[in-house]
Structure 1
């Protein structure tokens, strides 16, 4: 993308899911999002990753002023997952989730994450009954707490009540453990 320093981008449906459908950005919050490059009244199909990163920080500041970044991002991840499933792209994903079930969902995580425009390495390892580790490697915009919340929201659609915990975090790498 020409407006992106890094060349990486984020799907507009992620912006729609979080900022329009879930957080329903209006007023000063919407103005601050516009200032960083996302106009909730005129969503686009694709945004530079730098706009996504800035918009998440704006949401943290406006919607979660008393929470630490990790807690706020985890909650935003839940809202992102739920809101994304209401977008046209998300509805396609959502149609099969209840029939898929959690175990088959985990087998498909790498292909589902291909919806992202950047290809990082994702591995899923079963650790026991109702217990998985999802490892993300080489993600230059790693947001482990956000991804933990997204996994919880999407997994709920398979009929379970999951908990996703960040068990390892480094600059570009992180592990999530998910149980239910």
Structure 2
């Protein structure tokens, strides 16, 4: 059997060794699985797509009870029909357009950044209700904040066909995360990562964008370490 703490459910081909060499060791692990080396992905912007569990997590779970007929129609016109089975993949520009539509309809009286932040928090909760999301969140809770952050590149890779993330430890409870993309959703990514940190047990998580050149972005992730 596979050890849930030693196997990344976000990427079914990534395996870790057991307690002797696992990046996230657990007690009683006796299964030894060789790691699989991944090749970096280089996907041009026009071919970038997000996976269905991302769309499902927000629109069918995170916004449950908040999708008005007007919002449903606007999403349909944009390319996401909630009255039909969701597609396996959605182009990134379409998905970003949908995020903007949701903020306009669900949080019309809030500043744009605050609307995106609230949307991100709802997205984290909704993603945790999907089949894959439940597995990912369960592993995060077991790992704790530090090891959870170390898994973030794998988790992000499991949400679309293009993301490559580089993680650098800058100090206790302080990491720098560089991503090969940038989206015009102010406050969204920061709140999304803060929600994931909180899911991993981090206290007072804070995420700040420190670089964005339109093609890539860098974030600093911090939290209050345990005494």
**Is structure 2 residue 20 aligned with structure 1 residue 20?**
no
d(CA) in 2 for partners of 1:97 and 1:169? 27
d(CA) in 2 for partners of 1:156 and 1:140? 23
Higher relative contact order (CA 8 A, sep 6+): 1
1:79-120 Cα shifts (integer Å, max 9, x gaps):
212211110111121221111111111111111111133323
Question: How many angstroms does 1:140 deviate by?
Answer: 5.6
- Between the two proteins, the alignment pairs up a number of residues equal to 175
Answer yes or no: is the 8 Å Cα contact 1:78–1:151 preserved in 2: no
Change (3 A) 1:69 1:173: farther
* Residue equivalent to 2:198: 156
Answer yes or no: is the 8 Å Cα contact 1:21–1:83 preserved in 2: yes
Question: How many angstroms does 1:171 deviate by?
Answer: 0.6
Question: How many angstroms does 1:158 deviate by?
Answer: 1.4
Question: How many angstroms does 1:55 deviate by?
Answer: 0.5
* Residue equivalent to 1:179: 222
d(CA) in 1 for partners of 2:107 and 2:143? 33
Task: Give 1:135's match in structure 2, choosing from 165, 178, 182.
Answer: 178
Greater helix share, structure number? 1
- Structure 1: runs of 5 or more not aligned: none
TM-score of the pair, normalised by structure 1: 0.86
d(CA) in 2 for partners of 1:121 and 1:44? 23
Question: How many angstroms does 1:122 deviate by?
Answer: 1.3
Answer yes or no: is the 8 Å Cα contact 1:144–1:166 preserved in 2: no
d(CA) in 1 for partners of 2:178 and 2:110? 26
Question: How many angstroms does 1:61 deviate by?
Answer: 0.9
Alignment RMSD = 2.0
- Structure 2: runs of 5 or more not aligned: 1-44
d(CA) in 1 for partners of 2:68 and 2:47? 29
Question: How many angstroms does 1:28 deviate by?
Answer: 0.9
* Residue equivalent to 1:10: 50
Change (3 A) 1:140 1:179: closer
* Residue equivalent to 1:32: 74
Alignment of 1:1-180 (within 5 A): 6-24=46-64, 25-42=67-84, 43-137=86-180, 139=181, 141=183, 143=185, 145-161=187-203, 162-180=205-223
Answer yes or no: is the 8 Å Cα contact 2:114–2:187 preserved in 1: yes
